Structure 1
Amino acid sequence: MDQLFAVAWQYVVGIVQPEELPMQAAQLLTAGMDSPALRDLAGRGRREDTAELAALFRRAVHELGSSVPDAEAADRCLLHHLAGQLAAGASAPGEVAGRVWQGLTAAQTRTEHEFFQAVGDEYYVDYIADEQPEAFRVWEAELRSAAERLSRTTAMEIRALQENAERDCRAK
C-alpha cells in the first residue's frame, strides 16, 4: 500500500504525469496489488485521454482501499521527499529550495515549519550566494541540518497521511 500512496501523492504534485499512470498501474500490479480498475489502467496506452486515465487511477486507488490525497497532504509528502533527498545527498540545497520556492507551502508539524524557515527567502539566498559566500555556506549547512531532522520524522508523518487517505476511502 505504501507504493500505491507514493504514486498517488506524486500524481497530485505532478511528479507522475497522467500519461504515466498506465505504466505506474502495471508496476503496482507487479508489486502484488490488484483491482479491476488497476488492471484496466495497466492495459491502457500513454496517448489515451488523460482525464479518463486520471479517473481510472482514482477509481483504482479507491478499489484498493485508499484515496488520492488532497493537495495539502500531497505537498507535505513532497516536502518530506525533498528533505530526504537533500539529507541523503541526492539533491543540492539550491535544487530543494528552488522547488519549495515554486509554491510549496503546506506545513503542519514543528519540523516541517523549521525546514521552511531554513529554506528562507529566495531574494536573500540569491543575494548571499553572490555577495556573501560564507553566509551561503552557512545557509546550506542549516538547510541540510533541517532536512535531516525532517527526514527522521518522514516515515511516521507519511504513515499518518496514508492512514487519513484510507479513512477517507472508508467514509465514502
Structure 2
Amino acid sequence: MPDDDLAERCLLRHTAARPAAGEIAPEDAVGTVRNGIGENADEVEWRFAAAVTRSCCRDCLGAWEEEAFRGWEREMAATAAELVAADGNPLTASWRR
C-alpha cells in the first residue's frame, strides 16, 4: 500500500483532473483534499492544493462576494489544468512498503 503522502498526491491529481475535464464544477472539488499535503509534493501540486483548500467547504464558498468567487474559480481552473498537464506523476515515484 502507498503511504499517506503518496495517496494524498494521487488524490490531488485525480481531484484536479475532474474539473479540468469539465466532469465537476470547481466548487465540487472543495473538501476532497485535506489542508495539508506531504512534503514530497511538487510546486504544481502545492499551487492546486492552496487553491482547492482556500475554502473549507462548498457552503462557505456561497458566502463569498461574487467577484472573489469568480476569481477563485479562475484560479482553480488554471491550477487544475496546470496540474493535469504537469510531469511528475506520483504513481511512478517509489514508495516505501
- The TM tier, using the shorter chain, reads 0.7 to 0.9
1:82-121 aligned within 5 A = 82-100=15-33, 103=34, 105-107=36-38, 108-119=41-52, 120-121=54-55
RMSD (Å) for aligned C-alpha atoms: 2.3
Q: Say if 2:82 is the partner of 1:122.
A: no
Shift in Å, 1:131: 4.6
Pick the structure with greater CA Rg. Answer: 1
Q: Is the aligned partner of 1:160 residue 2:95? A: no
Q: Distance in 2 between matches of 1:141 and 1:98?
A: 18
The answer as to whether partners of 2:44 and 2:82 remain within 8 angstroms in 1 is yes
- State the shift of 1:96 in Å: 0.7
Q: Cα offset for 1:160?
A: 2.7
- Show structure 1 runs of 4+ deviating over 4 A: none
How many residues end up aligned between the 2 structures? 93
Find the counterpart in structure 2 of residue 60 from structure 1: none
Structure 1 spans left out of the alignment, 5+ residues: 1-67
Residue 104 to residue 69, structure 1, CA distance change in 2 (3 Å): farther
The aligned runs of 1:15-94 (5 Å cut-off) are 68-94=1-27
TM (norm. structure 2) is: 0.78
User: Match for 1:105: what amino acid?
Assistant: G
Do 1:75 and 1:104's aligned partners in 2 also have CA atoms closer than 8 Å? no
